[in-house]
């Protein structure tokens, strides 16, 4: 059973919404970040980067408090307003790659704890604690967790009906995407959607493992400090965007390594031969077209690496290409134990991923690069169902949601 709740969102006013919403802070190159902060006083970036007002970098608890102050200023200046009644929100994004449509709602911390919300990625405790402290101080959540659910005809029908109405928002952003938001305040429709989710065994985290883990920590802390705890408090939920599995897009990350761990090119290829059938593709750009095929770029040439048929699998994780590359190449041959923190490895993603990888290696920034076939939703689900965890940077998932569109207060 999956529990979702409506919430009264704090949202930008219609005339400012396109100016307020932002991408994730880490997604901005320095020059674009500075330009946005300089020329757009309504950007949500001013809230999460409060030191800009003082031309000073601020971190830690001091920054968290200033984030809270900037947020309250946006409310006082009527950049944000709060909806009068709890609602669900249908959000649609039209992009050049396709359309995405889902529902903003509150997801249950209890579901997270009992594994009705399933995970596929390991989290770092330090990051969990840091973001928990941040949430506790600022008192709101502006970045939803991306959750995916099995396609459902009843929810699809409701979305089709609601989206025929005039939206609350319709605006474009500089990435040439068009955004739409519809508010569902009708209690009967809300209840119908809730009942459909109650019939589901589980949903899956697609993106936002640290955000959901931090919300869980915060809920436990506030619960323990509240002698009148009822279970209905806002901290028992966290803002999420629920999207059907068929509408989720998963792309690949490549891996680039700075050296061959003391091996010559020939020695490296000989060791690869144990697990892979290797073909030299020369300057023909090679990208894998199916699972267990890998691309490699080394010394000005592309290679295809096909996993040998005698390779044995033990569970769903052992079949995952990012895991296979780690246990056959990255760890035993190239000596990379810690995929998160070893500075000899970096990751790339995007439309021109393989070309960028080639350019970096040709410029001697890296010695070798690997491209992989994207993970499928069913693989992700199976790994979650078995309680296993993917290696970091196994999936690049879209949609990437904007910050500051709907805000959930605790």
Instruction: Say how far apart CA 389 and CA 66 lie, in whole Å.
Output: 36
What pLDDT score does 51 carry? Answer: 84
Tell me what the mean pLDDT of segment 293-302 comes to: 97
Which uninterrupted H or E stretch holds 130? helix 125-138
Q: Which residues in 270-375 belong to E strands, given as ranges?
A: 276-282, 293-298, 301-307, 345-348, 368-372
Domain limits at 279?
A: 253-393
What pLDDT score does 4 carry? Answer: 98
204/344 same-domain check: no
Q: Which two tokens stand for residue 164?
A: 């025929």
165/284 same-domain check: no
219/265 same-domain check: no
Read off φ and ψ for residue 371, nearest 5 degrees.
-115, 150
Q: Which two tokens stand for residue 395?
A: 């999936």
**Which residue's entry shows tokens 């979305």?**
159
227/271 same-domain check: no
Q: pLDDT band at residue 30, thresholds of 50, 70 and 90?
A: confident
**Which residue's entry shows tokens 């040709």?**
362
What pLDDT score does 99 carry? Answer: 95
What pLDDT score does 262 carry? Answer: 97
319/204 same-domain check: no
DSSP H stretches of helix in 297-386: 321-325, 353-362, 377-385
50/65 same-domain check: yes
What pLDDT score does 404 carry? Answer: 96
Instruction: Say how far apart CA 271 and CA 298 lie, in whole Å.
Output: 14
**Which residue's entry shows tokens 């790339």?**
348
| Separation in Å, CA 269 to CA 154, 280, 292, 357 | 54, 11, 18, 19
162/300 same-domain check: no
pLDDT at 363 over 90: yes
Tell me what the mean pLDDT of segment 67-88 comes to: 97
- pLDDT digits over 248-292, tens only? 999 989 999 999 999 999 999 999 999 999 999 999 999 999 999
Radius of gyration of the chain (CA): 23
Q: pLDDT band at residue 57, thresholds of 50, 70 and 90?
A: confident
200/306 same-domain check: no
71/86 same-domain check: yes
- Tell me the average pLDDT of the chain: 95
Instruction: Say how far apart CA 157 and CA 146 lie, in whole Å.
Output: 21
148/9 same-domain check: yes
- pLDDT digits over 368-391, tens only? 999 999 999 999 999 999 999 999
- Percent helix, strand, coil in the chain, to 5, is 35, 25, 40
pLDDT at 97 over 90: no
What pLDDT score does 88 carry? Answer: 98
119/169 same-domain check: yes
In sequence order, which residues have a C-beta less than 8 Å from that of residue 320 and are 6 or more positions away? Answer: 375, 379, 383, 390, 391, 394
- CATH code (residue 316): 3.30.1760
Tell me what the mean pLDDT of segment 62-70 comes to: 94
Whose CA is closest to 141, among 31, 271, 238?
238
- pLDDT digits over 160-183, tens only? 999 999 999 999 998 899 999 999
- 77 contacts 394 by C-beta, under 8 angstroms: no
- 103 contacts 90 by C-beta, under 8 angstroms: yes
pLDDT at 106 over 80: yes
Peptide bond before residue 399 is cis, with ω within 30 degrees of 0: yes
Domains in the chain, number: 2
Tell me what the mean pLDDT of segment 207-213 comes to: 95
- pLDDT digits over 310-342, tens only? 999 999 999 999 999 999 999 999 999 999 889
What pLDDT score does 38 carry? Answer: 94
Q: Which residues in 70-177 belong to E strands, given as ranges?
A: 80-82, 88-95, 98-108, 117-118, 140-141, 145-149, 169-172
84/186 same-domain check: yes
What pLDDT score does 128 carry? Answer: 94
Instruction: Say how far apart CA 274 and CA 297 lie, in whole Å.
Output: 18
Q: Which three-class secondary structure state does DSSP give residue 168?
A: coil
Whose CA is closest to 376, among 397, 345, 407?
397
pLDDT at 351 over 80: no
What pLDDT score does 317 carry? Answer: 97
Beta strand pairing status for 203-207 and 117-118?
parallel
To 10 degrees, what angle do helices 187-198 and 153-162 make? Answer: 160
pLDDT at 59 over 90: no
Model pTM above 0.75: yes
């Amino acid at each position: 059973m999956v529990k979702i709740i409506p919430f009264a969102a704090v949202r930008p006013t219609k005339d400012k919404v396109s100016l307020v919403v932002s991408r994730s802070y880490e997604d901005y190159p320095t020059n674009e970040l500075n330009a946005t902060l300089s020329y757009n006083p309504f950007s949500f970036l001013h809230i999460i980067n409060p030191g800009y007002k003082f031309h000073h970098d601020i971190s830690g608890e001091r920054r968290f408090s200033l984030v809270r102050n900037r947020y309250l200023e946006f409310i006082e200046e009527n950049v944000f307003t709060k909806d009068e009644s709890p609602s669900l929100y249908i959000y649609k994004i039209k992009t050049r790659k396709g359309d995405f449509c889902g529902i903003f709602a509150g997801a249950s911390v209890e579901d997270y704890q009992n594994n009705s919300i399933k995970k596929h990625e390991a989290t770092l405790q330090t990051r969990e604690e840091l973001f928990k402290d941040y949430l506790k101080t600022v008192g709101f959540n502006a970045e939803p967790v991306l959750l995916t659910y099995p396609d459902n005809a009843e929810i699809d029908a409701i979305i089709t009906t609601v989206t025929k109405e005039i939206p609350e928002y319709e605006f474009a952003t500089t990435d040439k995407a068009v955004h739409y938001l519809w508010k569902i305040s009708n209690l009967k429709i809300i209840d119908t959607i809730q009942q459909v989710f109650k019939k589901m065994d589980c949903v899956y985290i697609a993106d936002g493992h640290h955000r959901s883990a931090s919300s869980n920590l915060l809920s436990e802390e506030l619960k323990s400090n509240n002698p009148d705890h009822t279970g209905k408090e806002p901290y028992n939920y966290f803002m999420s965007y629920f999207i059907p599995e068929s509408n989720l897009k998963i792309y690949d990350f490549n891996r680039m390594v700075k050296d061959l761990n003391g091996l010559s090119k020939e020695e490296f290829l000989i060791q690869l031969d144990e697990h892979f059938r290797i073909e030299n593709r020369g300057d023909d750009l090679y990208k894998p077209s199916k699972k267990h095929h890998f691309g490699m770029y080394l010394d000005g040439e592309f290679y295809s690496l096909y996993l040998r048929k005698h390779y044995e699998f033990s569970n769903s994780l052992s079949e995952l290409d990012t895991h296979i590359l780690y246990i056959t190449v990255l760890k035993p041959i190239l000596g990379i134990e810690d995929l998160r923190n070893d500075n000899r490895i970096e990751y790339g993603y995007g439309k021109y991923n393989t070309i960028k990888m080639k350019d970096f290696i040709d410029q001697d920034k890296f010695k070798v690069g690997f491209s992989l076939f994207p993970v499928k939703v069913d693989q992700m689900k199976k790994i979650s169902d078995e309680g296993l965890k993917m290696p970091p940077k196994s999936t690049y998932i879209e949609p990437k949601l904007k910050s500051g569109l709907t805000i959930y207060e605790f």
